[in-house]
Amino acid sequence: MGKIVWATGPLFLRSRSVADMAIRGRKASIDVDQCLSWLGTMKPRSVLYVGFGSLTRTDPSQLMDIGLGLEASDHPFIWVMRYSEESAEKIEEWLAGGFEERVGSRALIIKGWAPQLTILSHPAIGGFLTHCGWNSTLEAISAGIPMITWPHFTDQFLNERMIVDVLKVGVPVGVKEPNFIGMQRSETLVSSNDVERSVRSLMDAGKEGEERRKRAERLGEKANAAMKEGRGSSHSNVTRLIEHFLGNATVSVCSTHEGL
């Protein structure tokens, strides 16, 4: 197309401190130390993180099927629940009606905003059930985490194809139809059996799962290498970007995080 392109990022990798990762996005609905403490009790790569981004709202019946599938999988999980105010009473009753007691200490349920980057960077996390939003996809890839893909709308279906078919670091949950905010449905898009199947496929031991995990880890290494000062492709492209707008003068990117 005759355009100059500078491929940069993932820019959030400029800082890996817990404090910086915790404030990415909005203020978390859970104390970060509490979250890290819970993760610290879990085995490496044993926990599934479940989060569908900031724009999705899930119907109560679908939320319940997600919960039942997670329960049946027997894997520890962190579940970020987002639902409308109209659904709140029904969801709270369902949670208190036996679900929270049954899953017990192997589950951490966050209602609202979660420190996602902090969670994905923890060694206890072994998988991510995601809506395939681009921010979440980049964060999972950078952390070397394989994914269960559940696209909801727009580019998320295209991102799923890249995750599953091109990079081969994901397992599809099986959804084929978009689910926009406010859409009224008479039945759930994904059953509890679908959720259980995909969680077991991603998290359980086996040759295919190990190969998927190794591919995800290699991608994470590449993402981090791209941001290395002086050697990474993204760092070099930021330098070229600056040089272009300074009339191709010889400059170098500042070594401090603020300089990026």
108-123 tens-digit pLDDT: 999 888 999 999 999 9
172 pLDDT band (50/70/90 cuts)?
A: very high
Residue 75 sits in the same domain as residue 186: yes
Q: Tell me: do 27 and 92 sit in the same domain.
A: yes
| Count of domains observed in the chain | 2
Could you tell me if 249 and 188 lie in one domain? Answer: no
The predicted pLDDT at position 56 comes to 74
pLDDT, residue 167, reads 97
Residue 28 has pLDDT above 70, yes or no: no
> How far is the C-alpha of 253 from the C-alpha of 256, rounded, in Å?
9
Q: Which of 117, 140, 126 is nearest to 28 (CA)?
A: 117
When comparing pLDDT for 32 and 214, which is higher?
214
User: Is residue 202 domain-shared with residue 244, that is, in the same domain?
Assistant: no
Q: Which residues contact 154 (CB under 8 A, 6 or more apart)?
A: 178
Whether residue 201 is contained in a domain is answered as yes
Q: Would you call 47 helix, strand, or coil by DSSP?
A: strand
The pLDDT score that the predictor gives to residue 196 is 97
pLDDT at 193: 97
pTM of the model: 0.86
Is 13 a residue whose pLDDT tops 50?
yes
| Residue 6 dihedral angles phi and psi, to the nearest 5° | -115, 110
pLDDT at 177 over 90: no
pLDDT of residue 94: 95
Which structural domain range is residue 123 located in? 16-221
